[in-house]
A = this chain, B = another copy of it.
């Protein structure tokens, strides 16, 4: 993941800044543009064939949400940039999917880069979502179709909750909130996995378990990388220095901020747990080795001396008086049994048995 996005950024090295090049996997075939325009009394939704269809909404007093799935077509991004008067570096950042979550306030609009996490075919997928918040519009750019925003669409359509009564800043907040809520879904699964592994670790640790622990660890590293900077992003938004954020939305943003910190907390807790698991694994390996060694030692320590005694009376010396004794054989057997019993007592005292 990381290595891949780094690779792509590195390919762009040397191009003049503001050059629009898509950096990232081409995840969608087609660019799909959806427009939802609403105010308290009405809602209008359409899929735009051409990007130009969005432009009239720019100056309408209603709230407009333009969502673009697929960012590999540079010209689409460029046209939007021209229409909505975006700085070339914003466009460059939208196209570059290796961004860190960040916020930039350009006065007439705020630019946000976020990481949306969801499960796609049982794999955690990280998708970059860029948001432009203007006075009466939000433009969202996603790498492909499918997102965590369906509930918001429903709420707009059916006029559930407050959303239709509020402005574009509340819409942006809702998107942010949905993304952060998505992290909890991921963390839930990870938490279950951790509990699973802990049980396995105690019952039957195998080398494969280390591999799984290691993978979990890496997942946590990449999750952390996505969420940590978000704290600052939401913090900046919440402090409410921009005139684009209304005061009433501030309370909601503080709520998102709390959730973000909760996510970070949980990630840190999981990291602690995961590294504790490795310790348990290693100590259980040591324990097993110890047990193996004990058995070897018990067997060897009992039988090696006995075999030596048997070896003695297996020697072919002509003059070995014991060999002629009637009770030689049972006597030797008896001595052997005694030695064995003494050994066993010794091991018991040592608590090896």
Contact = CB atoms under 8 A, between A and B. Distances in A.
A83 interface: no
A251 B87 contact: yes
Q: Chain A contact residues: over half helix, strand or loop, or mixed?
A: helix
A contact residues, range: 35 or more
Interface string A139-178: 0000000001011100100001111000000000010011
Nearest to A331: B317
Interface in A265-291: 265-266, 269, 272-273, 276, 278-290
Contacts of A14: 148, 150-152, 178, 181
A293 B290 contact: no
A206 to B, nearest CB: 9
A304 to B, nearest CB: 5
B9 A184 contact: yes
Given A252-B17, A289-B286, A296-B297, A317 B308 contact: no
Contacts of A324: 318
A225 B10 contact: no
Given A296-B297, A299-B300, A304-B303, A218 B276 contact: yes
Interface in A226-273: 251-252, 254-255, 258, 261-262, 265-266, 269, 272-273
Contacts of A280: 210-211, 214
A76 interface: no
A56 interface: no
Contact of A316 (B177, B292, B296, B316): B316
A269 B225 contact: yes
Contact of A258 (B100, B217, B333): B100
A204 interface: yes
A208 B231 CA distance: 40
Contacts of A120: none
A162 B321 CA distance: 98
Contacts of A218: 273, 276
Given A163-B16, A221-B273, A294 B292 contact: yes
Contacts of A284: 207, 210
A187 interface: yes
Contacts of A320: 316, 329
Given A14-B181, A100-B265, A316-B316, A211 B202 contact: yes
A326 interface: yes
A282 to B, nearest CB: 6
